[in-house]
Chains A and B, each alone.
Chain A
Amino acid sequence: MYRIIKKLLGNSASLIGLLLLLVFILIAIIAPYIAPPLFPDPYQIPRMSWDIEPQPPGFSITDDMRFIYESLGKPVTREQAIFGTAQGGYDIFYGLIWGTRTAFRVGIITVVFSMFIGIIVGSIAAYFGGWIDEVLMRLTDIFLSIPFLVAAMVLTTILGRGLDKVIIALVAFGWMGYARVIRGSILSTKEEAYVMAAKALGVKDFRIIAFHLLPNTIFPVLVQASMNIGSMVVTAAALSFLGVGAPLGYADWGQMVSFARNWIIGAPGKAGEYWYAVFFPGIFIILFVLSWNLVGDTLRDILDPRLRGEL
């Protein structure tokens, strides 16, 4: 463990990744201070104007908007949209800051739950073998037969908009990889002497799986899970981009990009006029995923015993 941490810190790529992650964690923690919420639900992005088209960075809240907030008894806390506003007058800066929390929430919850399901399915299949293995693995194959994004899109379309629905869809079609990995490693460890000894002593099957096998086989799955957080966040953002993810006005990076979709080309003669509408959300998403990938890539190289001592 110490060796891994040392290597992670020693490799420039993963060091950058870790630092970026730290920045994102910081942003998520201090979100209420840098972007104080106006509504009881902090994930609701405040609107700075009624304009349909995006407004440039530094745009000040319009007077009628201020009047509405004040008459609702909510003093306006921030005068300017420093990253500009998206389609519909939504404050891009606010959406991105609170979207960081959304990203961590979606990424971590999805990965934890799908890993949990995957571990249960995979370890049962590998430990008991025979027809149980056959049935569970064919079930895994079936879930793998629909392209991930398509499956998630279908399920969110049916369940309706909402972040919880997105998470359900991502978990429902995201557990198969973990099941396969854990099955593989349990298959190769279950014949070891200590497992045999536990069996001979009459330890119950589920106890053997939980306390003897899993502690020795779970590590590759954890690595895989950490690497998947980035891609889960991207898929959730993609669903929002397609218009089936987060509800309208919810602080979510994918939605911020989808707001930019209709404005990307700009007005005739003024190409790229609305660059900020896609630039800032894009940077947030890319850096977030990049940080996970940088860490994950190094982690995999470190753990791949064939390349040990090469980095």
Chain B
Amino acid sequence: MLSYIIRRLLILPLILFGVTFLIFALFSLLSPMERLATYINNPSVLKNPQAAQRLIEKYHLDDPFPAGYIYWVQSLMRLDFGWSPTANQPVWEAIKQRFPATMELVFYSIIPVILVGIWLGVISSVHHNDLLDQTIRVTAIIGWSLPTFIFGLLVLFIFYGILGWLPPGRLSTWAQYIVYTGDSFKHYTHFITIDALLNGRLDIFWDAIKHLIGPIITLSYISWAYLLRITRSSMLDTLRKDYIRTARAKGVEEKKVIHQHAQKNALIPVVTVAGMMIIQMLGGVVITETVFTYPGLGYWAASSAQQLDYGSVIGFALLFAFMMVIGNLVVDISYALIDPRVKLE
């Protein structure tokens, strides 16, 4: 086990190298001039060919590919990701500022997904092929077929446009005023819900929750559907096993058979998938935040992409790739820890 974890950790730098190399390859599809534009915050410099040429040399943008890569990685190590015209601040600062908002959203999306998805999946498998199972299954397929951006617009349309319950954004104007101006509101975690509670401001807490519900539902409904399917097929598989038949033959209560004998083993593959789902959610963040104009990383990345702000888009991709690599590592290791049968290649 230990040797597996060590081997997995040793591979990590290799994968990080590969990912940065891949992203640099994408970046290199741009001309040196376009790449230069991502480093400077004063576009008028670009109009002067000599000055631009000097800067291109300074940033090693016209060097051969391997050399360019090394210089680029060095600048990343210095946390110099370039300048983001969209955010009007350095890319790294923009990321730091928006990171907590996105994490708050992802964090609150994970919990209901895991609880609801697994619960429905187990119900569906126990009632295999009867009406309840078919209903849950068809609902899941329909959920699976609803593209995030349409679903999000629908939520916005019904719950904001018609009912006026769930407004877009992260906070109402009055709450923004309290949270971001003056010193009265202390930022401990940068999760507004938690900070509001710590500050004893229930009104701000409630306001933040109201803004979060729509994005949470939008970000997580596909994962519900997916997790449900995986749990269902894994449970069906397990319920067919000999030891379940033995348990039933012994006269163990059906409830016990399902929740203790079957569920425990059936959930092993679900753990991996749940981990992967959480990672995949990172991709959904872009669309969800754009629909709800939720001021996180995804919204920023989408507006940067529209305005051809390459530096921000690349910085965003690097960050998400990095989080995904780490996430995969955690999933793999926890999988190995949970299931001793896993034959590690």
Interface residues of A (CB under 8 A from B): 13, 138-139, 141-143, 145-151, 153-159, 230, 234, 237-238, 241-244, 254, 257, 260-261, 264-266, 271-272, 275, 278, 282, 285-286, 289-290, 293-294, 297, 306-307, 310
Selected from A145, A260, A290, A293, the residue in CB contact (under 8 A) with B153 is A260
What string of 1s and 0s marks CB contacts (under 8 Å) between B281-302 and chain A? 0111011001100000000011
The interface residues of chain B lying within 8 Å CB-to-CB of A13 are 138, 141
| Supplied contacts A154-B314, A238-B149, 11 more A-B pairs, CB within 8 Å | A138-B15, A145-B321, A154-B23, A157-B308, A242-B286, A242-B302, A242-B305, A244-B305, A261-B153, A271-B161, A290-B145
Is B129 an interface residue when CB atoms closer than 8 A count as contact? yes
**Given A13-B138, A150-B282, A310-B129, is A265 in contact with B328 using a C-beta cutoff of 8 Å?**
no
Judge if B160 is at the interface, Cβ distance under 8 Å.
yes
Using A282-B154, A289-B147 as known contacts, say yes or no to A265 and B160 having CB atoms under 8 A apart. Answer: yes
Q: Is the CB of A145 within 8 A of B287?
A: no
Say yes or no: A264 contacts B305, CB within 8 Å: no
Q: Is B324 an interface residue (CB 8 A)?
A: yes
Whether the pair A147, B313 counts as a contact (CB closer than 8 A) is no
Note all chain A residues with C-beta closer than 8 A to B308: 157
B237 touches which one: A143, A241, A306 (CB < 8 A)? A306
- Beta-carbon contact of A286 and B146 below 8 Å: yes
Evaluate contact between B146 and A154: CB separation under 8 angstroms.
Answer: no
Question: Which residues of B are found within 8 Å of A294, using beta-carbon distances?
Answer: 141
B325 pairs with A293, CB closer than 8 A: no
By the criterion of a CB under 8 Å from any partner CB, how many residues of chain B are at the interface? 58
B193 within 8 Å of A (CB atoms): no
Are B317 and A146 in touch, CB under 8 angstroms? yes
**Closest Cβ neighbor of B327 among chain A residues:** A145
| Known contacts A158-B30, A257-B150, A145 near B324 by CB under 8 Å | yes
Taken residue by residue from 5 to 31, chain B's Cβ proximity to chain A (1 for < 8 Å, 0 otherwise) reads as: 000000100110011011100110110
Query: Among the listed B21, B26, B154, which residue makes an inter-chain contact with A158, where contact means beta carbons less than 8 Å apart?
Result: B26
Please tell me if the beta carbons of B15 and A141 are within 8 angstroms of each other in the complex: yes
From B145, B157, B286, A149 is in contact (CB under 8 Å) with B286
Q: Are B22 and A150 in contact (CB under 8 A)?
A: no
Nearest-neighbour CB distance to chain B for A11, whole angstroms, equals 11
> Is B320 among interface residues, defined by CB-CB distance under 8 A?
yes
Q: Chain A residue with minimal CB distance to B34? A: A158
Contact call B282/A264, Cβ cutoff below 8 A: no
| Cβ distance B25 to chain A, nearest Cβ, rounded Å | 10
A150 to B306, Cβ gap below 8 A?
no
Q: Determine the main DSSP class of A at the interface with B.
A: helix
Contact mask B262-294 → A, CB, 8 Å, 1/0? 000000000000000001101110110011000
The answer to the question of B240 belonging to the interface, with a C-beta cut-off of 8 Å to chain A, is: yes
Q: Are A159 and B29 in contact (CB under 8 A)?
A: yes
Report chain B residues within 8 Å CB of A244. Answer: 305-306
Selected from A141, A275, A290, the residue in CB contact (under 8 A) with B142 is A290
Which residues from chain A contact B280 at a C-beta distance below 8 Å? Answer: 147
Pairs A–B under 8 Å by Cβ, sample size 10: A13-B138, A145-B15, A146-B317, A147-B279, A147-B320, A149-B283, A153-B313, A156-B305, A157-B308, A265-B156
Q: Which of A138, A151, A238, A297 contacts B287 (CB 8 A)?
A: A238
**Which residues of chain A are near B150, meaning CB under 8 Å?**
257, 278, 282, 285-286
Residues of A within 8 A of B39 (CB): none
- Say whether A142 contacts B317, CB under 8 Å: no
Q: How far is the CB of B310 from chain A (nearest CB, A)?
A: 7
| Contact indicator A157/B313 (Cβ below 8 Å) | yes
Closest 7 CB pairs of A and B: A147-B283, A142-B18, A290-B145, A243-B306, A149-B283, A289-B145, A265-B161
Output the least CB separation between B301 and chain A (Å): 7
Report how far A265 CA is from B302 CA in the complex, Å: 21
Chain A residue, CB-CB nearest to B287: A238
Contact across chains for B283 and A286 when beta carbons are under 8 A apart: no
Q: Give chain B residues whose Cβ lies under 8 Å from the Cβ of A230.
A: 145
**Taking A244-B305, A278-B153, A293-B141 as contacts, is the C-beta distance between A154 and B313 under 8 angstroms?**
yes
Q: How far is the CA of A293 from the CA of B225 in the complex (A)?
A: 13
The answer to whether B162 has its CB under 8 Å from any CB of chain A is yes
B109 interfacial by beta-carbon distance below 8 Å: no
Closest beta carbon of chain B to A25's beta carbon, Å: 18
Contact call B316/A150, Cβ cutoff below 8 A: yes
A193 to chain B minimum Cβ distance, whole angstroms, is: 25
Nearest-neighbour CB distance to chain A for B68, whole angstroms, equals: 16
Is B244 close to A, CB under 8 A? no
Q: Which residues does chain B contribute within 8 Å of A149, judged by CB atoms?
A: 283-284, 286-287
Given A147-B283, A150-B320, A242-B286, A257 contacting B161 (CB threshold 8 A): no
Knowing A150-B317, A285-B150, the reply to whether A155 touches B286 (Cβ < 8 A) is no
Using Cβ atoms and an 8 Å threshold, which residues of chain B touch A289? Answer: 145-147
| Interchain CB contact (< 8 A) of A264 among B22, B153, B320 | B153
B144 within 8 Å of A (CB atoms): yes
Docked-complex contact A278 and B157, CB < 8 angstroms: yes
Interchain CB contact (< 8 A) of B283 among A143, A148, A158: A148
Q: Is the CB of A266 within 8 A of B161?
A: yes
Q: Which residue of A lies closest to B324 (CB)?
A: A145
Q: Is the CB of A293 within 8 A of B15?
A: no
A147: which B residues are within 8 A, CB to CB? Answer: 279-280, 282-283, 320-321, 324
B148 within 8 A of A: yes
Q: In the assembled complex, which residues on chain B have CB atoms less than 8 Å from the CB atom of A297?
A: 141
Given contacts A264-B156, A265-B160, contact A142 B19 (CB under 8 A): yes
Min CB distance A92 to B, Å, is: 15
